[in-house]
Structure 1
Amino acid sequence: MLPATVRLLLASVATSLLLLVTGYIVYLNRGPELPIWLTTELDEEFTEEAQVASFTEYLALEDRLFAQLDGEIYAKTAPATESSFNRYQRGSLADPARWSPNWNRSFLLERDNPRAMVLLLHGLTDAPYSLRHLGQRFHESGATVLGLRIPGHGTAPSGLTTVSWQDMAAAVKLAMRHLAETGEGRPIYIVGYSNGAALGIHYALSTLDNPELPRVEKLVLLSPEIGISPVAALAVWQARVGHFLGMDKVAWDSVHSLEYEPFKYGSFAINAAALSHEITREIKKRVRTLSEERALGDMPPILSFSSVVDATVEATAVVEHLYNLLPEGGHQLVLFDINRQAQIEPLLTWKPDRMLAAIQQAPHRNYTLTLVTNAGRGSSDVVARHWPEGEQGGHLQEPLGLRWPKNIYSLSHVALPFPPDDSIYGGRPEGKGPGIQLGGLALRGERGALRISAAAQLRLRWNPFYSWQEDHTVHFLNMTPSSGAFPSENLHVSERIRKHDQ
């Protein structure tokens, strides 16, 4: 038994920690009341336990979910004025109904005789909108494309306070089974962005143990979430203590009273950080175990794109916890370097050298490495330098015919899926879109006066090298069409999408 003095000391420390944590949570609970889109529970959302046996039933449940969203939130929110930017006010510049179809919902682009089936998995707080450009390109190249609305998304940020990564993974399995059944043996590809990339990897790993799951032919990952800050592991405890104390505000890492993006949440739930930590921990553990057992040989070929500067995920994790552990298998890793002409290195808090050091940790590189970087130190022209699998020395150089835009020093986590002409996030949109435009927003004035932060305005939201990235992806998936192979008159979308276009 411990001496009385030691027990007294431990009790004192435990009490102090409890008081400190409680005080911190009480502090977090201060502030204005939460808006309705952060407090309303929509119980028509899909969960792992839901009695949903097919993707058709998933879409029927989604219809009921969006009807509930209209009744419980939109119907109870004040109507928009001419200058409204709130997505939860009908008629505002951020109202998702301005776009047709509403890209918050699952979509299906079908082919009469598809050459492949593609599943698109968007990121956390995101919506199917983020991968629609790639989806439309795949469709034009002859594929049937399913853009899945992942549970917890596309409705209200409150959906992320209760959803689990297992709910998300269960939805992915439903979508994959649908593509397998309708594809009749055609190859199935998964394209995942951020947390969607984690879900894609998790599914592919699951197929190694369960041969009854439809096989993934190839994986494409954009800004993949393989590792996040270890601090996220503490998020779940903040949420639990807050719930115990009856403080709903503690369930949020950040609260935006103005949700100005039509297809992305601004507010971020603590539970979202917790589930990100849980799925990445599961992936890293599973990959490490299979690597030690030399059982990763059946993993599908993976093509991944990452910026060497990423404030959302641990950028090096894709190298340390995935690529460096993969055996040979046609895998490719593409990294977007910083703009070396900008000479921004002295101002950076995160050095790209960490990514290069992670690559060098592997004694033998079993993947092709590509670095998209300046053609020369003083040039804004961009090239792709390819180091073939296993080669540490010389590289092949591919001119891209693209340049770094003026005043841009790097890509960002959120930039990769969007082309320069995207109507919301593009820096060079083609004409005026249906609603709000955020890609070139840079308002100047007094600090702290705007409801849209300066950091949000300055973060790059579009990819100046998107055209090359898209072409490279289509080539990797063997979907480059021969001339005239897929005439536009053969394109059609599902009846469900056609209905929402009307």
Structure 2
Amino acid sequence: MNMPNWVRRLPRRIVLLGATLVVALLALRVWDIRQGPQLAPWHLVVPEELRAAEIDAADWTGYLTAEAAAFATVRTEVTAALEPADHIPANRYFAGSPLHPALFARDWNRSFVMEPEGEARGAVVLLHGLTDSPYSLRHIANLYRQRGWIAIGIRLPAHGTVPAALTRVTWEDWLAATRLAMREARARVRPDMPLHLIGFSNGGALALKYALDAVEHGTTAAPDRLVLISPMIGITAFARFAGLTALPALLPRFAKAAWLGIVPEFIPFKYNSFPVNGARQSHRLTMELQGQMRRLAAPGRLAALPPILTFQSVVDFTVSTRAVITALYDQLPLQGSELVLFDINRNAKIGPLLTTATETVLDRLLPPATRAWRSVVVTNAGPQHAEVVERAIEAGATEEQVRPIGLAWPRAVYSLSHVALPFPVTDGLYGLEPDAEEDFGVQLGAIAPRGERGVLAIAPDALLRLSSNPFFPYLAERIGQAIAAEAVLPARSAVR
């Protein structure tokens, strides 16, 4: 075998040391996976779904037909085939569980279309996040519907069914589904009507990628505005090497190596288990996205992007808040974009418990004014105030404008989280104060895991992360302003 020259030049001892380290890490990985839980049917059954080329050739009806077939596979090969040991209330795939999505009035794992009363005034496409489902953006979809817009929430390939589906999907499949949904949205309204594209987390990366492709290659379904919520513009360096952890899975005996987490599935509209391929595809997508941003920034073509409104928590365990600024906003010219950052709770009663790095995170994130985009920080009115204010600096300005927004931090909540932003506190599943009219089998956001060990069927730390947004009314207000602004502007696709 011919080795590259740079390898030949390395001292033999270093090469041997590196090879030994790789073997040791793989051995450690093999040992680790053999200690963990066994794979269940929902980790093994992969429903057949359309791939990118097939999606590009399909229409909305064809996509829904394929989606229905995937759910039928889950019913017959997972739910109907469960072993008695899996017939437990905490398993969403057990037909007798109160968490089983088929029991609800509506299964929000599936693609949906919300129609307004009367003639539509515009259309919006909503893209959920990785391991998530269309459920996560249903509240925002309803905001658009109430304002007379058609809202299309597409279930991205490999989501909503079983986590095993994520072991074979690619980000190109997700982007093809985005293109299909945008074609459908454009076809449902007049050419002069506005078209918005909303993305949450990994869906935010897809929304931006679609908009960049529209600039670079053109389309008749160009978005007039992007709304990004906790967008996955950059993720941790671990994802770059996640594929290596799956190497033992090439041998059937070590199939569990294809998974970064094998966890009970107790959430009706989201996977808990996470395969290596999910991390790998997100990393591939963000690398492609950042490269395209740089490629289009050099000749000034990013000026053709639609205005972008982004909502992001300054602390985010899943995506890089810094990348949202450096890889996206710092590349934008003056074109009407805005970044809204939700600060940590700086109430003095919690402050002494914060890490030093967290306490100074905001100062390290924002570049000095002036900026080519409007910046907003939602933060405490003062060090001993739970009430929050909006601190805004207009694009090209340095003076800060402060506005009370009539909202406050709930008691004992010290920050938002990656997953919380698109959910109001009244959400029936994730809300701190869930709507009594909704029943999804469990109220995850309202559970305060305080009690004795060994009582809960799931790990208590899975319930500690904030899952709803006490500032959702502000987010809804700002999106409402973006919708209202379209009433006086022609659609971008109609202008081209």
Q: TM-score when scaled to structure 1?
A: 0.89
2:82 to 67, 77, 80: 77
Paired residue for 1:353?
360
Sort the Cα spacing of 1:123 and 1:443 in 2 relative to 1 into closer, same or farther, 3 A.
same
- Matched-pair contact (CA < 8 Å) for 1:85–1:436: no
1:188 Cα deviation from its structure 2 partner: 0.8
Give the corresponding residue for 2:490: none
Deviates more, 1:240-249 or 1:17-26: 240-249
Equivalent position to 2:207, from 200, 209, 225: 200
- 1:7–1:59 Cα change, 3 Å: same
* Structure 1 equivalent of residue 491 of structure 2: none
Runs of 5+ consecutive residues of structure 1 not aligned to the other structure: 482-502
Note the aligned Cα RMSD (angstroms).
2.5
Decide which of 101, 105, 111 is 1:100's aligned counterpart: 105
**Aligned counterparts of 2:7 and 2:54: Cα–Cα separation in 1:** 53
Distance 1:278 1:240 in 2: 18
Structure 2 counterparts to residues 7-156 of structure 1, below 5 A:
8-10=12-14, 12-30=16-34, 31-43=36-48, 45-50=49-54, 52-77=57-82, 84-111=89-116, 112-156=118-162
Residue 303 of structure 1 is matched in structure 2 by 309
Q: For 2:212, what is the secondary structure of its paired residue?
A: helix
Q: Secondary structure at the match of 1:296?
A: helix
The letter for the 1-side match of 2:69 is R
Which one is further off, 292-301 or 235-244? 235-244
Sequence identity, in percent?
Answer: 38
- Structure 2 equivalent of residue 214 of structure 1: 221
Q: 1:466 pairs with 457, 468, 472, which one?
A: 472
Q: How does 1:75-474 map to 2 (within 5 A)?
A: 75-77=80-82, 84-111=89-116, 112-185=118-191, 186-244=193-251, 246-256=253-263, 258-341=264-347, 342-344=349-351, 346-348=353-355, 350-351=357-358, 353-360=360-367, 364-392=370-398, 394-431=399-436, 433-434=438-439, 435-447=441-453, 450-474=456-480
Q: Secondary structure at the match of 1:419?
A: coil
Describe the shift of the 1:213–1:21 C-alpha distance in structure 2 as closer, same or farther (beyond 3 A): farther
Q: Which runs of 5+ in 2 are unaligned?
A: 488-496
Secondary structure in 2 aligned to 1:285? helix
CA contact 2:343–2:362 (8 Å) conserved in 1: no
Aligned residues of 1:160 and 1:271 also touching (Cα < 8 A): yes
Deviation for aligned residue 1:463: 0.5
Cα distance in 1 for residues equivalent to 2:249 and 2:12: 28
Superposed CA deviations along residues 153-193 of structure 1, whole A, max 9, x for unmatched, are 00000011111111100110011111112222121101110
3-state SS of 1:297 partner: helix
Distance (whole Å) between structure 2 residues aligned to residue 3 and residue 316 of structure 1 = 35
Q: Are residues 70 and 4 of structure 1, via their aligned partners in 2, closer, same or farther at CA, if it must alter by over 3 Å?
A: closer
Deviations 1:382-439 (A, max 9, x none): 11111111222x2222211111111011111111011011111111112163221101
Task: Identify which range, 322-331 or 395-404, moves more after superposition.
Answer: 395-404
Identify if the C-alpha distance between structure 1 residues 14 and 136 changes in structure 2 by more than 3 Å, giving closer, same or farther. same
Provide the rounded CA distance (Å) in 1 between the counterparts of 2:288 and 2:27.
32
Against the structure 1 CA distance between its residues 227 and 110, is the aligned structure 2 distance closer, same or farther, given a 3 Å change threshold? same
Residue number in structure 2 paired with 1:491: none
Q: Count how many residue pairs are aligned between Structure 1 and Structure 2.
A: 478
Question: Normalized against structure 2, the TM-score is what?
Answer: 0.91
Q: Which moved more, 1:163-172 or 1:430-439?
A: 430-439
- Counterpart secondary structure, 2:395: coil
Q: 1:130 to 1:7 in 2, by over 3 A?
A: same
**C-alpha distance in 1 between matches for 2:464 and 2:273:** 18
For the residue of structure 2 that corresponds to 1:322, the secondary structure is helix
Report Cα offsets for 1:306-355 as digits up to 9, x if no partner: 11111111111111110111001111110111111144365337425344
**Distance in 2, Cα, partners of 1:299 & 1:438:** 38
Contact kept? 2:37, 2:262, Cα under 8 Å = no
**CA offset digits 1:61-105 (Å, max 9, x no partner):** 111111111111111125799971211011312111232220000
Deviations 1:29-88 (A, max 9, x none): 303420110011212x12113364212211111111111111111111257999712110
